Chain A
Amino acid sequence: MRTGAAARAGQYAALVAYLVFLAFPFLWLVSTAFKPPRELGSLHPTWIPHDPTLANFRQAFDEQPLLRAALNSLVAALGAAVVAVLIATPMAYVIARRRTLLARAATGWVVVSQAFPFVLVIIPLFLVLKNLRLIDSVPGLVMVYVVWALPFALWMLVGYVRAVPVQLEEAAAVDGAGRLRTLVSVTAPLLAPGVVATALFAFVTAWNEFFFALVLLKTPEKQTLPVVLTHFIGAEGVADLGPLAAAACLATLPSLVVFAVIQRRITSGMLAGAVKS
């Protein structure tokens, strides 16, 4: 018993240490956002600002159109997540269930596609989008994000589909359910956690993406949040730290909110799947 209690205490200690490790950058960011310039230049910085201020937030909002940029980012990220999942889910199902040459080729493509650095494709991509008149448009950016997120989304979803026992679908068929009914009533609910996790991945990837947004969007009104954040950074990496931290705090909020809302769904779904299998 004593050994068990000590082990549990050790586990909790390790968990707390891990949480602190994960939370440190964010907490430091929050602390910086509330510090006046003089505290930012202090040789002995403190966790809690001596003289907390909202001036950094005011300056950030005064200088840059953060809300509009956040809205653009939200549209792009949500659009990318929804479209990527809509395309990847049926593809993943086919790849997981049908062992055809095409399925194997698609799997190979997913692996190979990870090897292309974005600097290699940005100029051809720019020209393609220009011909499609999708330069300087958020839908164009959504399309790029979808293509960008698709291979990994597909990879994730194939794993989730394979985890759903095919015997369940066969049992449904034996009970008289048609293909569509089986997919809707049996496979889809079991796949939901995977779909949500994949959508989350696509959302966060698009939300944080910087370079494509920088290159593809020209009009200031269409710029996304990561691009606007760089406007607080000058030559040689000199940064307006306070407003940058304030704006970065705001930029992390949507991801945190999305995670908070759906993490229970992911967890419960995974548990439900485990019991059924």
Chain B
Amino acid sequence: MRTRPFAAPTRTRPFAAVLAALALLLTACSGGDGGRDDGTVTLRFQSLAWQQESVEANKELVAEWNATHPGVRVEYVQGSWDSVHDQLLTSFEGGEAPDIIHDASDDLADFAYGGYLADLRELLPDRLRKDIPRRSWETTTFGDGVYGVPFLQEPRVLLANAAWLAESGVRIPTPDDPWTWEEFRAVTKELSDPDAGKYGVAWPLKEPVSATLNLSLSAGGQVFHRDADGRAEIRFTAADAVVPRTVRAQVGTDRSASGSTLGMGGSDTLPGFFGGRYAMVPLGFSYRQQVVQQAPEGFDWQVLPAPAGADGLTQGVSPQTLSIAEDSPYQEEAAEFVDFLLRPENMVRLALGDWMLPTGRAALKDPALRTEKYGWSTGTALAGHLRPAPAQSVRGYPEWKDKVATPALQEYYSGAIGLGELRERLVEDGNLVLARYQR
């Protein structure tokens, strides 16, 4: 799409004059900006909802708000996950950001520290503050402030070919009695027949860092440690190595995981899952929707909890968030709308639309999210084990992830480097990156 870099404007006088004239002409043609003079407050709500049910749920809620709040009109603006960071950054710099911003907690650090987002501590009602657990609020707490309301989250689960597992006779794990990582490795080995192209698991690790770090919390891995001054330091302990070693062993030693899926995104593994090539695929909870839509008729599947380690089923998540722009002149009205949007019954509608879990305690109790159908009950049982993703509030994390951790983990999983070199690169190169951000 973007085939050429942007061209800088000329400095020659005639051309500048032409452009200025053109600007005046175009300004005259462009008309007004639709601003209202009748005293009605208009808030712009940029939503990143993209699935049909989710978009419908959001639009319905906006319509319901507008019908009951004639003085505060909310305008629904469709954003895109694909480019939200750059788009928001430009909007903030230009003072044209939406009033209410839908994003994810791992994207907020720069905006929060940059002063672009309103501190919500004094804006949100008690009901909402108490409804969402503290561990979820921690995902949007930067320094002393709270810069977003975490409202939807998804654990990583095992989507499993139920018939294949039943036929093999392996023990089926539950949230109360999950597989350990060792057991998981043994099970995948038992399920596999690599010579026939059948594997116990397919790890889609195109983006290996978040998957590895989030799952490593179950084994007690942290990677990022803070000292008394709040400075972050990277360490790679035996607990941090549990998940990477398991994956590496499945791919390389046991041949119970397909090596060809290591470079794939989650959706790319589904055809092989449906086609009987992989017995299980570790994916985000919301991938269930794609399974429901795309699975062949009669395909028998189920949702299993990810394996547990020394810290049980603990996992890291980066919830979806709603924030309010610091520059918004209507922060209180925006907070009222956020409160409306996240009432328990509305949070349930949003969760169902996105096939994710709500963060709110009241919403999590809703029977619609407790049904066994499509594995909802397995997901809700995991909600209490979800923690802030490691490092999401660490400045320099994006650079560490892109320049150090992603290539190092990809090389480790593919067998190109060993655990020693992985540790060295993650820690030594990583701490050099962090040091630049923590001077």
Contacts and interface: CB of A to CB of B under 8 A. Distances in A.
Contact of A130 (B83, B94, B294): B94
A230 B82 contact: yes
Interface residues of B, number: 66
A127 interface: yes
Contacts of B294: 37-38, 40-41
B96 A218 contact: yes
Interface in A100-118: 102, 105-106, 109, 112-118
Interface centre among B3, B5, B270 (most CB of A within 10 A): B5
Contacts of A209: 1-2
A108 to B, nearest CB: 11
A139 B27 contact: yes
Contacts of B91: 215, 218
B128 interface: no
A34 to B, nearest CB: 16
Nearest to A94: B14
Nearest to B293: A37
B263 interface: no
Q: Interface on chain B toward A: helix, strand, loop, or mixed SS? A: mixed
Given A115-B5, A118-B6, A42 B275 contact: yes
DSSP majority for the A interface? helix
A43 B30 contact: no
Contacts of A139: 26-27, 29-30
Nearest to B50: A234
Contacts of A140: 26, 30
A31 B416 CA distance: 38
A210 B267 contact: no
Interface in B44-87: 44, 48, 50-52, 55, 76-78, 80-83, 86-87
A43 B271 CA distance: 5
B267 A239 contact: yes
A148 B52 contact: no
A235 B15 CA distance: 43
A48 interface: no
A132 B125 CA distance: 40
Contacts of A41: 270-271, 274, 290, 293-296
A231 B94 contact: no
B8 A205 contact: no
Contacts, number: 187
B90 A122 contact: yes
B229 interface: no
B347 to A, nearest CB: 18
B81 A116 contact: no
Interface in A216-261: 218-220, 223, 226-228, 230-240
The number of chain A residues touching the other chain, given as a range, is: 35 or more
Contacts of A120: 6
A151 B274 contact: no
Given A118-B6, A214-B80, A134 B30 contact: yes
A200 interface: no
A230 B266 contact: no
B93 interface: yes
B50 A231 contact: yes
Nearest to A223: B78
A157 interface: no
A142 interface: yes
A122 B91 CA distance: 10
A208 B3 contact: yes
A170 interface: no
Contact of B93 (A126, A138, A208): A126
Given A41-B290, A113-B7, 4 more contacts: A43-B277, A123-B94, A126-B96, A139-B27
15 contacts: A43-B272, A102-B12, A113-B7, A122-B6, A123-B94, A134-B27, A143-B23, A150-B7, A215-B90, A218-B44, A220-B77, A220-B78, A230-B80, A232-B50, A240-B50
Across chains A and B, which 3 residue pairs bring their CB atoms closest together, nearest first? A43-B275, A41-B294, A139-B26
